[in-house]
Structure formats: structure tokens, C-alpha cells
Amino acid sequence: MDVALEKRQVERAYELYAPVYDFIFDWIFAPGRAAAIKHLGLQRNDSVLEVGIGTGLNLPLYPATCRLTGIDLSQEMLDKAVERVQMLTMTNVALEVMDATSMDFADNEFDKALATYTISAVPDPVAVLREMRRVVKPDGCIVILNHFRSEGRVAGRLEDLVAPLCTRLGWKSNLALKPLLAQVGLEPEVVVEVNMFHGWRLVQCINRK
């Protein structure tokens, strides 16, 4: 299956998820979200990029002193985020529909970047991380929160078996962490297991260019 077809699958899946996304995903994944924002180590006036901001569930976790830009491929999801920004009266937030594999930002534009539950739901995770590296300043912080393929033999094999079904639903169940980071030249500073059953990993990296 080529990348273009996968991209259409992702767009279609999240069009369908948008009305119920918050109900399904908020409380289950909330601990990981809070931990991810904490690991960004945000300082006053930091410029932050959130890739795959979705409906904006992370928005209440950001301090008002940072400058946040959120992007997402799905207009339907982003419409929900716009409503949340208005409800929270957040004046420090800009939201844009954008393909994360080809961002309309300059090199070294942001101090920090975050992607929560996004990297396994994009057609080309390597391209997304390379773009995140490009737009984040040298020595800036990049935080990724995602389910990655288990390093256990049995669990990893099960994730491989259900991968075709998960791909149809818009995400990859067997994305391996170490090869992914190696391809984009990132070294993890911190890896923490989070959420229910510790099934997700929070990865903090420094953008050493």
C-alpha cells in the first residue's frame, strides 16, 4: 500500500473519530498527556509546536506564558480544537491544518516540539520526526508519546498479527521505537512507560544538530 492511500485512510479515520474522540480517548490517555507536557520543561516565552494536536485535549495543560502552534491533518479534528481554544480564551495559540511530513515553518523556528499519540497514526513517521528536528532549534526538546512495538517476543508478535487491522483503523500497532529514532538521528534522554498497563512510552530527546 502506498503512502498516498495510507494518508487518505488516516484522514478518513479521523473524520469519523472527531465527534467521539474526546469521550473515548481523554480519560484513558490523560496521565500520559500530563507527563508529556511536564517533560517539555516549558519556560516563559518558549515557542512550542504540537504535531497532531487533534481536538486540543492537551490545551489546558499548557501554561499561558508559552507560545503554542498546533497542527493537524484533519480539519474536522482541528475544528474541535478551535472551539476549545475559544472556550479556554487562550490568546497564545495558533492552529493550522498542515501535513506534518512537509511543514510550512522555517528551520529552527521552535524551542520545543511535542507529538502525543500521533507518530503511529501518520503515514510516514520518519518524515514527521525529521521535520520536527528541522523546525526545532539546536538543543531544543522533542517529546514523543506513543504506543510502540513491544520488545517482548510474544507481545511483539501479537502486535504484528493485528497490524493490518489497526492500519485500517488509522494507526500502526507495531511501530518499533529504536529503529525509528535511529533513522532520524535522535537519542532518547528519557523513556518512561505511562498510562494503563504501561502500554505507552514517553520519549524525551534533545535535538542535537
Residue 1 — pLDDT band, cuts 50, 70, 90? very low
Our count of domains for the chain comes to 1
For residue 171, give the CATH number of its domain: 3.40.50.150
What digits encode the pLDDT tens for the residues 72-121? 998 988 999 999 999 999 999 999 999 999 999 999 999 999 999 999 88
Q: What is the pLDDT of residue 197?
A: 75
Report the side by side order of strands in the sheet with 47-51. 93-97, 67-72, 47-51, 110-116, 136-146, 200-206, 188-194
At 165, the pLDDT band (50, 70, 90 cuts) reads low
Q: Are strands 110-116 and 67-72 parallel, antiparallel or unpaired?
A: unpaired
The partner residues of 112 in beta bridges, in order of sequence, read 48, 141
d(CA 176, CA 154): 15
Per-residue confidence (pLDDT) for residue 48, from 0 to 100: 98
| Residue 71 domain boundaries | 3-206
Answer for the pair 59, 93: CB distance below 8 angstroms, yes or no: yes
**Three cell numbers written together for 108:** 529552527
Judged against a pLDDT cut of 60, whether residue 2 lies above it is answered with no
pLDDT of 164 strictly over 70: no
**Residue bearing the bigger pLDDT, 18 or 65:** 65
Whether 20 has a pLDDT exceeding 70, the answer reads: no
Of the listed ranges 7-21, 40-54, 59-73, the least confidently predicted one is: 7-21
**Among the listed residues 90, 144, 134, the one whose alpha carbon sits nearest the alpha carbon of residue 114:** 144
Query: By the 8 A CB rule, do 203 and 177 touch?
Result: yes
Q: In percent, how much of the chain has pLDDT > 70?
A: 80
Please state at what angle helix 153-169 crosses helix 3-17, rounded to 10 degrees: 80
